[in-house]
Amino acid sequence: MSIRSALSPYFELSRCGAGASLRPMEGLRGLAVLLVFMVHYVSLSAPWRSGDTTLAAIANSLHTVGNAGVDLFFVLSGYLIYGSLLARPQKLHHFLRRRVRRIYPVYTSVFTVYLLLSWVLPSQNRIPAPWPEALRYLASNFFLLGALEDNPPLISVAWSLSYEMLSYLLIALLISALHLRRRSRAWRCLFFASTGVAAAVGFASFGGPARMLLFISGVFVHEAMAQAPSRAPGALAATSAVIAAWTLLLLPLPLWLKLAALCCAFFLLCLSCFQRPGNVLALALCWTPLRWLGNISYSYYLIHGLALKAGFMALALLATPGPHGLAFFLLMLGPMLAVTLPPAVLLFLLVERPCSLAPPRHAN
């Protein structure tokens, strides 16, 4: 038996209704979480690359582009959640209960680990000392309201889960209140385009969670899936759009313009891969290790920062922080990625798969 055959029962997921787009979508999740890994790798490797301006420029560019990994997750979530809610009527509390079941087992496990580490390692503790403030801080973090707080979140990446939960609620309410299932596709597209433009203007003028605009890009991916596959962009067009958007991220441009570029680029990327699963880009995303990383991406997303920090703490015992140069920066990428995989795999196999991905015992 090959290694792939032996591991398939653990890392292959069965999802209904995904069709030919399932495999490249898994690869896109893997790509997204690798981008997020790069953000934290760059941040934590800073003490080992001080003084090298060229390396600093490269690292800053990788950090900026890596931040787009979360935006790609938002597009995929918008596509999946909007499509699921539009397909059939669902009671809001049933839908939200399924979303809580999907998010909270893993989140609660990692939250508990962070609480224990805050007690064991006081120097790393982010919890305010006065107990009333501590309770409020912990409650806001546990119930994913941390994005509204000024204090740094207990789990640094959890801010995106606040956006996810808010998007679930908003999409569900809009579909129900505006009877979007009975509207024409053109009407829905015009509505979401107008909403996106109005929101972008509001965010540009008054601030706010501007990155939630990426969920609307996912909505448009779902609506565009109804067109003929021959009209979907090819691999070259989609890849060029993504590279162009990443390049714009590095320029001193307004945030709304960068987000607009990401919305368009990730829309083309997803549409190309989902409607043309046989093109070279979609096939590359179907590489098994990348897909399996995508399948454990939620567990990986929440735990990898902690594992990576532990890896750099161990590295400090072997190599004194200082200007080690580009070769050292690149050389440590692989080992540090490897350090983050075991805890993510354990979290996936012990918590996420049995608690969040297994079929519920009683259907509603």
pLDDT in tens, 5-28: 889 999 998 665 455 568 999 999
Long-range contacts of 340-344 (CB under 8 A, 24+ apart): 340/37, 340/300, 340/303, 340/304, 340/307, 340/308, 340/311, 341/300, 342/307, 343/303, 343/304, 343/306, 343/307, 344/296, 344/299, 344/300, 344/303, 344/304, 344/307
Lowest mean pLDDT segment, chosen from 19-23, 99-103, 106-110, 191-195: 19-23
The pLDDT of residue 148 is 61
Handedness of CA 113, 119, 124, 127 (dihedral sign): positive
| pLDDT above 90 as % of the chain | 76
pLDDT in tens, 45-74: 999 887 778 899 999 999 999 999 999 999
Q: Which residue has the higher pLDDT, 152 or 27?
A: 27
The pLDDT of residue 363 is 42
| pLDDT above 70 as % of the chain | 95
Taking residues 106-135, what's their average pLDDT? 91
The pLDDT of residue 321 is 86
The pLDDT of residue 147 is 64
Q: Where are the domains of the chain?
A: 21-357
The pLDDT of residue 305 is 96
Lowest mean pLDDT segment, chosen from 14-18, 116-120, 146-150, 190-194: 14-18
Query: Is the pLDDT score of 362 beyond 60?
Result: no
Taking residues 192-215, what's their average pLDDT? 93
Token pair, residue 359, equals: 């079929």
The pLDDT of residue 364 is 41
Long-range contacts of 110-118 (CB under 8 A, 24+ apart): 110/155, 110/302, 110/303, 110/306, 110/347, 111/141, 111/142, 111/154, 111/155, 113/303, 113/306, 114/154, 114/155, 114/306, 115/154, 117/306, 118/154
Lowest mean pLDDT segment, chosen from 110-114, 221-225, 226-230: 226-230
Taking residues 188-213, what's their average pLDDT? 94
The pLDDT of residue 15 is 61
